[in-house]
A and B are shown apart, each in its own frame.
Chain A
Amino acid sequence: MTIRDDDVARSGDEPTRDEHHELRLPWSLSDRRIPRRVVQPLQSFLEQEAASGILLVAATVAALVWANAWSDAYRSFWSTPVAIGIGGAAVMETLRGWVNDGLMAIFFLVVALEIKRELISGELRDRRSAALPAFAAVGGMVVPALLFLAVNPSIPDSKGWGMSMPTDIAFALGILAIGAPRVPTAVKVFLLTLAIADDLGTIVALVVFYHRPVDVTALALAAVLAATFVVLRRVHVRATSVYVLLATALWVALHEAGTAATLAGVIVGFLVPATAFQRPAAVSREARSVADRTVDDPEPPDADAPEWLYLATLSREAVPPLARAERALLPWAAWGVLPIFALANAGVVFRGGELATVIAHPITLGLLLARIAGKPIGILAGAGIGIASGLARRPSQLTWPRLAAAATAAGVPFAVSLFVAQIAYLRPELRHVASGAVLVAAVVTSAIAIFALRVTFRRSTAAG
């Protein structure tokens, strides 16, 4: 998750320091020592493309150290129950659950916003370009699952085939940021779309094949809420609070339905309108007239407040809600949600003997094969079939080597795979092995992906 260079959020929101000297600077931009020595350097660090990747790695390392040095503290901290109860009903999750289901919904919301923007005005505007990651996702789900089943043909080991399908968006993006900091947008968008597509595919697989109990009433309620969102949008209701409320309700409904609550983020992201409420020309005219109507020293001091608040609302309405939401949430998603997610989930405890048992197990072998070989092969094959059939098109920036390198990043399994491991296996010892297998596969595939990305993109940058 990175900010595009052309619209570094901070310079958009706050008065900048050099020009307009009559504007009064807030603390973070002032000449005081702490802002000058700490806050401003921190801000320029965060504005770099690789910042979120670096933070993610730092959080992962911190999680590993924490989990191995103080394993009880790590486990008990992230299993702290946090609940909101009303009468008999309650939404209860561990702290880790709130991070994975709650905070990550914000992350998925931002991802959906980015994909929607690309669909409307960016890389995916051409339908055939948009079809490519869909084809690739299907290939990237089928081939790994088949490979896993080939290694583990009999029940109960075979039940974990679903673990080989999902791509972990968070880690894939983090790895992309570390391995290829100046990656072309086309590659990043391809990976994002692919990852969303196979997340949706995994959710379908969970419901259909794993008979995960789904509360149909709650699901219907979620559908009604999403429909309400659409209707309110159509009749030009603009109050943000209404939509925030609806989104929260949708999250609760999906959470209660037993599906992935993060899906709420994806749905809401795609529903956010991409056109501005006001024509910029109309707002420009109003801006001039407010500037004319107001005075510098009103009496009482708040006399012009309605005028200024009116202008504040209108200037916001000159920006598409999609762009507003993206700018408001992107920094939180990249620098808050992702590192916290890694901190909560990456704390693998390594104990000598255990590791050996896990590595030797056929489940691990199958998963490794599926994620290292199956994912890239499946993605390339799916993309090839799509292009050959004429239904999909490969953007010129997305060369085959780049596509292959991105496909290795899609091989990193994590949160959703861990989740599948929990419901696929009933016997605790198999569950344990499966969780270990996911973690081992995550480490191995991450290393391979970073290497592949480094090689590919160093070469391609040198060539270009």
Chain B
Amino acid sequence: MAPEPLHAAVVPSAEDDSGSRLRPPWSRSPRTAARRIARPLQSFLDAEASSGVLLLVAAAVALAWANSPWSSSYERLWSTVVTVRVGGWSISEDLRHWVNEGLMALFFLVVGLEIKRELLTGELRDRRRAAVPAIAAVGGMLVPAAIYLAFNAGGVGASGWGIPMATDIAFALGVLTIAASHSPATVKPFLLTLAIVDDIGALVVIALFYSTGIAVGGLVAAVTLVGVILLLQRLDVRATIVYVALGVAVWIACFESHVQPAIAGVVLGLATPAVPFQRPKAVSREAIRTAEETVDDPEPPDADAPQWLRLSWLSREAVSPLARIEHLLHPWTSNVIVPLFALANAGVVLTSSALRDAVTSPITLGIVCGLVIGKPLGIAAASALAVRVGRGQLPNGMRWPHLLGTGVVAGIGFTVSLFVADLAFSTERLVSEAKIGILVASVLAGALAYAAFRLWGREASP
């Protein structure tokens, strides 16, 4: 997602310094396993589409697993309860929810970082331009909800109106990355902003309409902790461990107050400083000084350790915390956490009777129509309205066909839709109908978006 894949950063490599004496780590060494496996794997993971591919594979594996003869092991694994208990207080969740609410908070942290970077220095620096995707997101939430209610008003499924409102950021961006290689670069940040606004909207909906009640105490604690973080930043406290501890505390406060911990991640991401602590020039001078003051064979062997560690410290401070955290977490969230999430959540059991029920169910139909038709309709209409009334303009190079394609991609509701479905319905049958609707809609939206970008994306490009 980063314009420059930071995680592909320079690592001492055997090739590019043939004449020098830097020693490569295992992954860059000429050993067979490193050469044949680790390095190809690394270049695959460094490629931008890897996350989308891994996500699709994980979802497919989950579906296959849940419908295989070993389906019981799927449920058993993901409902394994993992507990952290201190005296009378405990957090006890099944493995699936540790992924959804724990690991995914890190994913949302990275999302928050990316949004902040885009807002400060990227495509979204122009607020008028950021306004359009935000308004589009609102349209893309209202229209699907209305379509869903048209099918279900007054029925048993009426409470599921929040399900088709969501957009799955990871899936949508994955499909976009694979399909829209010929589209303008601005499409992706547009979708990212839209999806984030959509997500925040969906989480507000969850909080307001689907929560058994947000505990005010925990919420106040979380807000206070974020305030403390901002204050410490102002004071120039830089120790990472302080912020890690506070971040974990915010997560726990959100968890305890039934606020989606994903919100905590986004907020913490947005609160991360985007300016380096040190001027690069000052660090450059220190680097040269350290090079001059150290020797090649100190006695004792760690005599120069303070100088080197200081230089290491300063070089890190020449990079903004935002870029550092993104660099550190991005490979993990896109290549491990999001695929793990799909593996944990996509395993819907598809029996013939379940499918038969689903075809005629207003819930399934409402979700499919809401996501596949309502999303692009709402997004396109709201964008047109926003541009017409002068609230902004489409980003550079982005044409109406791209917008429609983006709308279709946004119809991949997947994650948050699955989440809302669990909250909205308590009967097994309704949940299953909803999940089938979400899967069908997501697959349809994905396929349509792929086709749309392949057809229109190329024509519309200048």
State the CA gap A274–B300 with chains docked (Å).
Answer: 11
Pairwise interchain contact B283-A308, C-beta atoms closer than 8 A: yes
Looking at A83, A310, A312, which has the most chain B CB atoms within 10 Å of its CB? A312
* Interface set, chain B 307-346, CB cutoff 8 A to A: 307-316, 318-320, 322-324, 327
Return chain B residues, CB-CB under 8 Å to A291.
Answer: 283-285, 287-288
In the assembled complex, the Cα of A103 lies from the Cα of B137 at a distance in Å of 49
A87 contacts B by Cβ under 8 Å: yes
Expressed in whole angstroms, the Cα–Cα distance for A339 and B280 within the complex equals 40
A32–B68 alpha-carbon span in the complex (Å): 65
Q: Write out, one digit per residue, whether chain A residues 346-385 have a CB within 8 A of any chain B CB (1) or not (0).
A: 0000000000000000000000000000000000000000
Kindly provide the distance from the CB of A460 to the nearest chain B CB, expressed in whole angstroms. 25
Interface presence of B245 (CB below 8 A)? no
Contact present for B287 and A236 (CB under 8 Å): no
CB proximity of B84 to chain A, nearest CB, Å: 6
Residue of A nearest to B237 (CB): A27
User: What's the count of A-B pairs with C-beta under 8 Å?
Assistant: 242
Q: Which residues of A contact B297 (CB under 8 A)?
A: 280
Chain B's closest residue to A80 (CB) is B87
Q: Does A316 contact B (CB under 8 A)?
A: yes
- Bound Cα distance A446, B324 (Å): 49
What's the least CB distance linking B321 to chain A, in Å? Answer: 11
B305/A323 in contact, CB under 8 A: yes
A269-315 CB contacts (< 8 Å) to partner B: 274-288, 290-291, 294-298, 300-315
Q: Of all chain B residues, which has the CB nearest A298?
A: B280
Check: A154 CB closer than 8 A to any chain B CB: no
- A310 CB to nearest chain B CB (Å): 5
Check if A27 sits within 8 Å of B236, measured CB to CB. yes
Q: A82-B87, A287-B287 are in contact. Are A280 and B304 (CB under 8 A)?
A: yes
Q: Is the CB of B319 within 8 A of A235?
A: no
Shortest beta-carbon distance from B396 to chain A in Å = 16
User: Which residue in chain B gives the minimum CB-CB distance to A322?
Assistant: B302
Chain B 1-13 interface 0/1 with A at a Cβ cutoff of 8 Å (1 = within): 0001010011110
Residues of A within 8 A of B300 (CB): 121-122
In this assembly, does B286 line the interface, its C-beta being within 8 Å of a C-beta of chain A? yes
Whether the Cβ atoms of A80 and B86 lie closer than 8 Å is yes
The answer to whether B296 and A316 touch across the interface, beta carbons within 8 angstroms, is no
In chain A, residues 6-56, which have Cβ atoms closer than 8 Å to a Cβ of chain B?
Answer: 7, 9, 11-15, 20, 22-28, 30, 32
A287–B290 contact, CB under 8 A? yes
With A237-B26, A327-B309 as contacts: A84 and B83 at CB distance below 8 Å: yes
**Docked-complex contact B320 and A314, CB < 8 angstroms:** no
Question: Given the known A-B contacts A296-B280, A324-B305, are A310 and B9 also in contact in the complex, defined by CB atoms under 8 Å?
Answer: yes
Contacts of B292 in A (CB 8 A): 284
Binary contact track B231-252/A, C-beta < 8 Å → 1, others 0: 0100111110000000000000
Q: In the complex the two chains form, is B237's CB within 8 Å of A236's CB?
A: no
Interface string of A202-235 (1 = CB under 8 A from B): 0000000000000000000000000000001001
Cα distance, A298 to B86, chains bound together (Å): 48
Q: A278-B23, A281-B21, A315-B315 are in contact. Are A7 and B238 (CB under 8 A)?
A: no
In the complex, which residue of chain A has the Cβ closest to the Cβ of B90? A83
Beta-carbon contact of A311 and B311 below 8 Å: yes
Which B-chain residue is minimally distant from A318 (CB atoms)?
B308
Residues 373-409 (chain A) with a chain B CB within 8 angstroms: none
By the criterion CB–CB under 8 Å, are A15 and B314 in contact? Answer: yes
Q: Is A85 an interface residue (CB 8 A)?
A: yes
A80 to B87, CA, bound (A): 5
Residues in A whose Cβ lies below 8 Å from that of B311: 287, 311, 315
A298 to B279, CA, bound (A): 11
Distance between Cα atoms of A23 and B238 in the complex (Å): 14
The stretch of B269-277, B399-407, B450-458 that contacts the partner chain: B269-277
Question: Which B residues lie within 8 Å of A32 (CB)?
Answer: 235
Q: How far, in whole Å, are A232 and B34 apart by their CA atoms in the complex?
A: 12
Q: A121-B301, A236-B23, A302-B323 are in contact. Are A316 and B280 (CB under 8 A)?
A: no
- Asked if B278 is at the interface (CB within 8 A of a chain A CB), the reply is yes
Does residue B462 face the partner (Cβ distance < 8 Å to A)? no
A-side contacts of B155, CB under 8 Å: none
- B31 contacts which chain A residues (CB < 8 A)? 235
Please determine whether B287 and A23 come into contact, CB atoms closer than 8 angstroms.
no
Does A320 interact with chain B (Cβ within 8 Å)?
Answer: yes
Question: B306's contact among A7, A15, A82, by CB below 8 Å, is which?
Answer: A7
A-contact bits for B142-178, CB 8 A (1 contact / 0 none): 0000000000000000000000000000000000000
Instruction: Tell me the residues in window 48-104 of chain B with beta carbons closer than 8 Å to chain A beta carbons.
Output: 80-87
Given contacts A20-B286, A87-B81, contact A312 B26 (CB under 8 A): no
Shortest beta-carbon distance, A296 to chain B, in Å?
Answer: 4
A306–B83 CB distance below 8 A: no
- Complex CA distance for A297 and B280, rounded to whole angstroms: 8
Residues from chain A with Cβ under 8 Å of B327 in the complex: 305, 309
For B21, the chain A residues whose CB sits under 8 A away are 279, 281-282
Is B227 positioned at the interface, with any CB of A under 8 Å from its CB? no
- The answer to whether the Cβ of A319 comes within 8 Å of any Cβ in the partner chain is yes
A318-B313 in contact (CB<8A):
no
Q: Flag whether A81 is at the interface (Cβ < 8 A).
A: yes
Would A277 and B310 count as touching, CB distance under 8 A? no
User: Within 8 Å of chain A (Cβ to Cβ): is B360?
Assistant: no
Contacts of B312 in A (CB 8 A): 311-313, 315-316
Interface residue? A463 (CB, 8 A): no
A7 cross-chain contacts in B, Cβ below 8 A: 302, 305-306
Asked if residues A280 and B296 are in contact (CB atoms below 8 Å), the reply is: yes
Please tell me if the beta carbons of B313 and A26 are within 8 angstroms of each other in the complex: no
A287, B288: Cβ atoms closer than 8 Å:
yes
| Residues in B neighbouring A306, C-beta threshold 8 A | 4, 6, 9-10
A182 at the interface (CB under 8 A from B): no
Interface status of A458 (Cβ within 8 A of chain B): no
A23-B314, A287-B291, A288-B287 are contacts. A315–B308 as well, Cβ < 8 Å?
A: yes
What's the minimum C-beta distance from B3 to chain A, rounded to whole angstroms? Answer: 8
B47: which A residues are within 8 A, CB to CB? none
CB pair A296 B281 closer than 8 Å: yes
Q: Flag whether A75 is at the interface (Cβ < 8 A).
A: no
Cβ-defined contact, B284 with A320, below 8 A: no
CB distance from B38 to the nearest CB of A (A): 10
Contact between chains at B236 and A284 (CB < 8 Å): no
B residues in contact with A20, CB < 8 Å: 282, 285-286
Across the interface, which residues of B come within 8 angstroms of A323, CB to CB? 301-302, 305
| Chain B positions 427 through 444: 1 when the CB is less than 8 Å from some CB of chain A, otherwise 0 | 000000000000000000
Q: Is the CB of B83 within 8 A of A12?
A: no
Q: Which residues of A, 99-136, contact B by the 8 Å Cβ criterion?
A: 117, 120-122
> Is B25 an interface residue when CB atoms closer than 8 A count as contact?
yes
The contact sample of 20 A-B pairs, CB cut-off 8 A, is: A12-B309, A32-B235, A87-B81, A117-B302, A122-B300, A236-B24, A275-B301, A277-B23, A277-B25, A282-B20, A282-B22, A284-B292, A291-B284, A300-B121, A306-B9, A306-B10, A308-B316, A309-B316, A318-B294, A319-B304
Beyond A287-B291, A291-B285, 19 additional pairs, beta carbon < 8 A: A11-B306, A22-B282, A84-B84, A85-B82, A87-B80, A87-B81, A236-B29, A280-B295, A284-B291, A291-B288, A301-B276, A301-B320, A302-B117, A302-B320, A303-B4, A310-B10, A314-B22, A315-B290, A323-B305
- Give the top 3 A-B pairs by smallest Cβ distance, nearest first: A12-B306, A323-B302, A284-B291
Chain A residues packing against B (C-beta within 8 Å): 7, 9, 11-15, 20, 22-28, 30, 32, 80-87, 90, 117, 120-122, 232, 235-239, 274-288, 290-291, 294-298, 300-316, 318-320, 322-324, 327
